[in-house]
Structure 1
Amino acid sequence: MKEQPSRIRWENRTQRPLLALAVLFAVAYAVPIVLPDADPALRRGCSVVEWAVWGAFAVDYLVRLVLSEDRKRFVRRHWLDLCAVLLPLLRPLQLLRVVATLLLVGRRARMASQIRLTTYVAGAVAGLLMFGSLAVLAVERDAPDGNIKTLGDALWWSFTTMTTVGYGDHSPTTGLGRVLAVGLMLSGIALLGVVTANIAAWFIARFDQDDAEERRRTAAIEALTQEVTALRAQVAELSAAAAPVPARRRDPTG
């Protein structure tokens, strides 16, 4: 069943504004963590921006739901969007707003046909590194036994965790920090699988294309060979038909 044109138009028009709001969310989320001694008014303003961005994505989901012709089918196909919208309402933690916004941005980015898989993967890696570093820094910085105290430590830890290298020089000590580590490791493995599958699919498609081109060339050569053979046969027949018949000699004794 085809989607309503009005929903498609809505998605096309809101694609870039929502991505811009996601960037604004990233800034609002990062400021209180990078500047722990910031003015309370600034921190409250950043919190308002975070909730406002999440609210914009929630409104976007509701509008797309209303504009869908088959709403039950829309909910079934976009259940992850619904979970991301409801997640911060279950328990109003800042980290849940981060996860929900990342999920919603990712879902909307995949809908854009102009965004290629490579660009999406690169954006996902950058987003996970940034948010993972900020989240673990916010959790581990004040931990008594924590060893992730600066943004540089958090970035290094996120990079080694996503690549599953795990040097062990920096590691989370709190329960929530370890949950973040598990999520980051799984995300890194998933993204690596996506990249590997994309490269393999590219090579397979390339080989199939070359094989199909070779088959087309072989078929064209065979067809040309058959045409040349047929032309030679026709030329031989025409030459035989056009050849003069030799006259009989008279017998002088007859």
Structure 2
Amino acid sequence: MSDHPVHRPPARLTRWEQRTEVPLFVAGLLFLTGYAVRVLTPHTAEPWNDLALTLVWSTWLLFLVDYVTRLRLSGLGSRFLRVRWLDTVVLILPLLRPLRMVKVYQAVQRRHDRPRLDLYARVMAYAGMTAVLLGFAASLAVYHLEHRASDASIRTFGDAVWWACATLTTVGYGDATPVTFWGRTVAAGLMACGLALLGAVTGSFSSWLIQVFTREDEKRPPERG
């Protein structure tokens, strides 16, 4: 038996997470919208830039309140940073909030019974949506960091979207690549996230196929000798 039992979140923390899941998802979309306006519109575009900045900071404060509440309800104290490390990461870098979807896939994998087929379908759909949101966020970040560099190959937002698609799908044509330090940091993160999302989709799809074939075999009448 393992000396380190799996941490089970308290019931009050589970209830909080269930109640705030949809509002925080909406807040994440609002944060991404505000950031997109800040990046894609000229600095002289008022009052849109000021409104976007207000939206970004107000949604981040909402994420901070949620984080502090999770910390208190978990009862973990300082161990919260290690046990719930993904919560800390998405607070510091809100553009990574779509990665919380990976936790759903991990929860499915830990189930001892056979999850319903529609659960696998939901995981694949959420992972696909996560990839789209993460790719859009990475495109904004790389465009923001790269388009003014003297030797940049990513000059427009369209270039950044093309780069993100090539990176997420692990194709990597190499015609558009970040040249700045922080741009390459974003690229490295997107590569790692792309592999995680690809693993979630392919793993769920494989498990779904296995269950389909297993159920078909169970329905088939036994062969007579």
Query: TM-score, length-normalised on structure 1?
Result: 0.68
**Matched position secondary structure for 1:167:** coil
Give 2:114's aligned residue: none
**Matched position secondary structure for 1:205:** helix
CA contact (8 A) 1:133 1:151 kept: yes
Give 1:210's aligned residue: 216
Percentage of identical aligned residues:
36
Q: Which blocks of at least 5 consecutive residues in structure 2 are unaligned?
A: 1-6, 109-118
Name the Cα RMSD after superposition: 3.2
Give 1:80's aligned residue: 86
Give distance in 1, aligned partners of 2:28 and 2:90: 14
Give 2:76's aligned residue: 71
Q: Is 1:126 aligned to 2:137, yes or no?
A: no
Residue 138 of structure 1, CA deviation: 0.4
Give distance in 2, aligned partners of 1:8 and 1:184: 29
Give 1:243's aligned residue: none
Give 1:21's aligned residue: 27
Counterpart mapping for 1:11-50 below 5 A = 11-39=17-45, 42-50=48-56
- The letter of the residue matching 2:217 is D
Tell me the number of residue pairs that the alignment of Structure 1 and Structure 2 aligns: 207
Moved over 6 A (4+): 107-115
Larger RCO of the pair (alpha carbons < 8 Å, separation 6+): 2
Give distance in 2, aligned partners of 1:6 and 1:152: 45
Please, which of 118, 142, 150 is the counterpart of residue 144 of structure 1? 150
Residue 134 of structure 1, CA deviation: 0.6
Give 1:98's aligned residue: 95
Residue 4 of structure 1, CA deviation: 4.8
Larger radius of gyration: 1
- The letter of the residue matching 2:130 is A
Give distance in 2, aligned partners of 1:8 and 1:183: 29
Give distance in 2, aligned partners of 1:55 and 1:107: 24
CA contact (8 A) 1:65 1:74 kept: no
Give 1:193's aligned residue: 199
Q: Which blocks of at least 5 consecutive residues in structure 1 are unaligned?
A: 88-95, 223-254
CA contact (8 A) 2:102 2:127 kept: no
**Deviations, residues 61-115 of structure 1 (Å, cap 9, x unaligned):** 22233334x4359825423213433x3xxxxxxxx4434x445x54787799989
**Matched position secondary structure for 1:116:** helix
**Deviations, residues 184-227 of structure 1 (Å, cap 9, x unaligned):** 2222222222222112111211222233334xx439x89xxxxx
